[in-house]
Amino acid sequence: MALPIAGATSLWIGWRYLAIRGRAFVSLITWVSILGLGLGVAVLVVVISVMNGFDAELHRRILGTVPHVVLVPPNADDATDPARFSPVGDAFRFFEADGMVARSSGVEAVAIYGIDAQGIAAMDVVAQKMTSGSIEALTGPGGGLVMGSPLAMHLGLAVGDPVTLVLSSPTNDSIVPRLERFTLVGTFEIGAELDYGLVLIGLEDVRARGLAGTGKIGVRVRLADPIHVDLAVAELAKLTPPGWQITDWRSNYGELFRAVRLEKSMMFMLLVLIVAIAAFNIVSAQTMLVNDKRTDIAILRTMGASEGLVLRLVLVQGILVALGGIGFGLLLGLLLANHVTETVSLLESLIGARLLDGSYFDTIPSVVLPSDIALIAAVSFAFCVVSALHPARRAAALNPAEALHEAS
């Protein structure tokens, strides 16, 4: 009587072959395959989650400070009400110029932003990271200036000290340097390059001192989701009067974020190779299992089992090993990714060194994205299935007569 051929049959036999203790060496190779695959998946989950965290933190720190979209009129005296752009985002008047900050013998190139009370309210990232003074002081008596704490320290400045800004003013066919004296009223530290290259002044000072010609004055729009800036620019183009220039954050920081995404993609590809190597260990484990069960497979064939059934039951074993390794790796990876700072602190105490020294970060950010987890699981499973196919085909092609003759 032929043995019933069904998915449940191959699943049951495959599980029995895997679960029943056989040769110790074969069992060891199987467990090594599960452990290696699990560790590879865990490393991939942790590294990708950490890179997501650094990417998100850079977006928060930089895009919380720099203009998302800047609208510049052809005439600096254009009095267009910023409220007309409010359907797209928070809009307020804004001044931007390149210049230098000077103190005694120290001179540093900086980006100079002029903001009013609305602009101060929108720059909540800077307001939350003030280390001394207050950003609201820019709306007070004229001449206030706010800069990054590291820049102030480099120049030997403290709150209340005089600061000289050097701007360039076009005159006829030449450019004439213009020196303006300000007073340091506050410092901030957001943990990015802007700490060394950003200076904030009051927009009223720009108007009172006639500094509009040293830079560009227009409207700054703060978006709820600056990542999708394309849609915002398209909407703003419909609301902007003719002749206005529209620029967004990508002109200055687009390359940085593209480099971060490229780094994440390259790291994913490199770590996938580790998972692939671990997955290919299933080939050796399953091949040894097939050799160990040659007699059993031959008996099944003589009882009426088809090549398809044998192929499926050996493939089931490989898939069960894959599911065990991937499941273990995902659980371990998610656990480490959600406690990566504690894990790194433990590692630092073991090696006696600080891994984050010289960086802008006190802790390691981590963001676990379900889409990344699904992709890691799918890619790992695909490698495992491909690895398990060769031993399964070899078992299906086994000659029952030869196997039984060798066993006797």
Interval 179-222: pLDDT, tens: 889 999 999 988 778 888 889 998 888 888 888 888 888 888 88
pTM here is 0.71
Q: Name which of 115, 135, 119 is nearest 127 in CA terms.
A: 135
Q: Do 363 and 341 contact (CB within 8 A), yes or no? A: yes
DSSP H helical ranges for 249-369: 250-292, 294-302, 307-338, 340-351
pLDDT of 56 > 50? The answer is yes
Tell me the C-alpha distance between 121 and 119, whole Å: 5
pLDDT of 294 > 90? The answer is no
Task: Kindly report, residue by residue over 44-54, the tens digit of the pLDDT.
Answer: 999 999 888 88
Say if residues 287 and 392 touch (Cβ distance below 8 Å).
no
Q: What is the mean pLDDT of residues 283-303?
A: 69
Tokens, residue 44: 């991939």
Structure tokens of 256? 């940085």
Name which of 133, 146, 124 is nearest 202 in CA terms: 146
Question: Residue 73: phi, psi to the nearest 5?
Answer: -75, 160
Share of the chain above pLDDT 90, in %: 10
CA 320 to each of CA 14, 42, 56, 234, 388: distance values in angstroms, whole numbers, following the listed order: 9, 18, 36, 51, 10
Q: Which residues pair with 132 in a beta bridge?
A: 187
24, 41, 270, 387 from 383: Cα distances, Å: 26, 12, 15, 6
Tokens 């687009």 found at: 254
Residues 225-280 have pLDDT tens digits of 888 888 888 888 888 888 888 888 888 777 878 888 888 888 888 888 888 888 87
Of the ranges 53-67, 301-315, 345-359, 371-385, the best mean pLDDT one: 371-385
Rounded-to-integer distance, Cα 169 and Cα 178, Å? 6
- Average pLDDT for the chain: 80
d(CA 115, CA 388): 63
Contact 75, 216 (CB under 8 A): no
